[in-house]
Amino acid sequence: MSKFCAVDPVTSMNLSLNDQRTLKLPATPVYKMAAPLQYSSDPQALESYTLHYFSTAFTSQDYADALEISILFFEGQRSGKLPLNQRQTWRGDSGLSDGSAYHVNLVGGYYDAGDNVKFGLPMAFTTTLLAWSVIEFGSSMQNQITNAEAAIRWSTDYLLKAATATPDTLYVQVGDPNMDHRCWERPEDMDTPRNVYKVTAQNPGSDVAAETAAALAAASIVFKESDPSYSTELLHAATKVFDFADRHRGSYSDSLSSAVCPFYCSYSGYQDELLWGASWLHKASLNGTYLAYIQSNGHTMGSDDDDYSFSWDDKRPGTKILLSKEFLDKTTEEFQIYKSHSDNYICSLMPGSSSFQAQYTPGGLFYKATESNLQYVTSTTFLLLTYAKYLGSNGGVAKCGGSTVTAESLIAQAKKQVDYILGDNPAKMSYMVGFGNKYPQHVHHRGSSVPSIHAHPNRISCNDGFQYLYSSSPNPNVLVGAIVGGPDNRDHFADDRNNYQQSEPATYINAPFVGALAFFSAKN
């Protein structure tokens, strides 16, 4: 059992003993600028650089502690009937009648971020990335593997219901986001419309359906040994949902319009999800049908594109790295294109590379967007480590023009991003709530910022909740493990609840970070 972290007494007033898994961590580390990456074909030079880089303030135990609470965060996002072993105990049951007005059971799943809507596209992507984290780095999770699997199952149980309740239909959202965002209510009180949105043959959503298929397929790999019957159920549902996505093509943004836009519009279209979904079904099922699908459709679904953003919307870089393993492991010629484009993506991230084009803050943080930038940091970091694993197990390197980059160099770059999030940055602030002794106190999150139902049993209405949004007091309920949107391009962060761009957490920020933390927790 980890020991408690020193936190502000105001912040901790509604933490139960179970909640106080905020861990004893090192004093705020001294900020260090890393030396610029050196590119060389000399393995000894790169190894020397890597060893120098790895001497930081964080230990493997620190990463293990962060891993524990990065998974614990998901319990604060749960919708539905909470189990007896719920550890974020300030939360209560919510959304218990979701779907009932439409004669379907859609209880469960996750709220995506700081609101009370269950958005299907980011939830499915979160699930895929949690599963991928376990697939690649589960052997390093030690006593947290059970909690990681529980976090995945909480979502897949919901996705199974959404995918199998009605033939040729996928339920993709519960809650009217426009109405929800007009209120500041804890989920236990919400009385905004719980509208249900679906995609069908007539109103297709290949993007959200193929992502759902990817999530179910990836999760089937996770549970293959621990729960074979559940794994089989997941894979069976994944094949059906993918077939539905492929047969009835179209974007869910076109079918559902203002219910999903501008919140989670499918800006990249649906082709990337179809290839991503097929790739996961290929990996999960070993069915030659999906290999043939990838070979036949890859060129029209993004295999020839160089894309530099991996997120809930755009799956192209992730697909390429996932499929590159096929070439690295088996030298399957048809998959060499995925290795080449994976190299292009990775090289774009590495300062000093001839194809370097990524932006970093003065403090060294990967920077992609003004809103919720850390989602791109965590997803990119996960891909760096996964590709490093694939390369390392095959003695491969990433080819960047005339130079090469080794797996060790990718790990060093990933570590810098992880350490920045955990507090090795100019602000000397951890962007993971509950980690270290300085972290965001005014998180943009309804349930965390409004007094819990245990502290304030009487209902707090839609409009009455806004006093807590605008309050200068720290959140009364600590959303332990949440990673917020993060600092701007000058490393500046406003700990302001109303600044959702920087202070709002999301499930898809945490999901890939689970894998990254597991990797570093196993390093000495």
Tell me the sheet residues that pair with 483: 432
CA gap 3, 270 in Å, rounded: 46
pLDDT given at position 8: 26
Active site residue 181: no
Residue 21 clears pLDDT 80, i.e. is over it: no
In a domain, 48, yes or no: no
Q: Residue 2, Cα to own-chain centre: how many angstroms?
A: 24
Residue 295 clears pLDDT 60, i.e. is over it: yes
| Average pLDDT for the chain | 89
Q: How far is CA 80 from CA 70, 76, 85, 462, in A?
A: 21, 12, 14, 20
HEC per residue, 116-149: CCEEHHHHHHHHHHHHHHHHHHHHHCHHHHHHHH
Angle at 333 between CA 305 and CA 515, to 5 degrees: 65
CA gap 474, 14 in Å, rounded: 11
**Percent share of the chain, pLDDT over 70:** 89
Helices 228-247 and 145-164, axial angle in degrees (round to 10): 40
Residue 378 clears pLDDT 90, i.e. is over it: yes
Choose the catalytic residue: 176, 444, 445, 491: 444
In a domain, 435, yes or no: yes
Contact 496, 442 (CB under 8 A): yes
Range of the domain at 341: 60-521
H or E, element range at 171:
strand 169-174
Contact 488, 513 (CB under 8 A): no
Residue type, 149: E
Residue 42 clears pLDDT 90, i.e. is over it: no
Q: How far is CA 318 from CA 61, 127, 447, in A?
A: 29, 14, 32
In a domain, 443, yes or no: yes
When mean pLDDT is compared across 29-33, 106-110, 468-472, the lowest value belongs to 29-33
Contact 504, 484 (CB under 8 A): yes
Active site residue 495: yes
In a domain, 40, yes or no: no
In a domain, 35, yes or no: no
CA gap 349, 384 in Å, rounded: 9
Tally of domains within the chain: 1
When mean pLDDT is compared across 29-33, 57-61, 183-187, the lowest value belongs to 29-33
Query: E strands along 329-439, which residues?
Result: 359-360, 366-367, 398-400, 403-405
In a domain, 27, yes or no: no
Q: For 335, which DSSP code?
A: G
Mean pLDDT for 401-422 is 96
Tell me the sheet residues that pair with 80: 94
According to DSSP, the β-strands at 359-360 and 398-400 are unpaired
pLDDT digits (tens, 9 = 90+) for 230-284: 999 999 999 999 999 999 999 999 999 999 999 999 999 999 999 999 999 999 9
Exposure string of 16-54, with b = 16+ CB inside 10 Å and e = fewer, is eeebbbbbebeebbebeebeebebbeeeeebeebbeebe
CA gap 155, 167 in Å, rounded: 20
In a domain, 42, yes or no: no
pLDDT digits (tens, 9 = 90+) for 191-229: 999 999 999 999 999 999 999 999 999 999 999 999 999
Q: For 388, which DSSP code?
A: H
Q: Residue 132, Cα to own-chain centre: how many angstroms?
A: 10
Tell me the sheet residues that pair with 400: 403
Residue 9 clears pLDDT 70, i.e. is over it: no
In a domain, 41, yes or no: no
For the record, the structure tokens of 124 come out as: 């499915």
Contact 86, 74 (CB under 8 A): no
Q: For 341, which DSSP code?
A: H
Specify the CATH number for the domain of residue 408.
1.50.10.10
Give the residue among 293, 203, 291 at the shortest CA–CA distance from 249: 203
Give the residue among 451, 424, 431 at the shortest CA–CA distance from 504: 431
pLDDT given at position 56: 54
Residue 312 clears pLDDT 50, i.e. is over it: yes
262 preceded by cis ω (within 30°)?
yes
- DSSP SS3 for 174: strand
Mean pLDDT for 516-523 is 95
DSSP string for residues in 198-264: EEESSS--HHHHHHHHHHHHHHHHHTTTT-HHHHHHHHHHHHHHHHHHHHS---HHHHHGGGTTTTS
Contact 207, 290 (CB under 8 A): no
Choose the catalytic residue: 157, 334, 488, 495: 495
**Percent share of the chain, pLDDT over 90:** 82
Residue 74 clears pLDDT 80, i.e. is over it: yes
Q: How far is CA 475 from CA 102, 153, 440, 443, 463, in A?
A: 35, 28, 9, 7, 18
pLDDT given at position 16: 32
For the record, the structure tokens of 69 come out as: 């609470």
CA gap 432, 479 in Å, rounded: 10
pLDDT given at position 524: 62
Indicate the pLDDT class of residue 407, thresholds 50, 70 and 90: very high
Phi, psi for residue 34 in degrees, rounded to 5 = -75, 150
Mean pLDDT for 13-36 is 31
Indicate the pLDDT class of residue 25, thresholds 50, 70 and 90: very low
Active site residue 504: yes
pLDDT given at position 333: 78
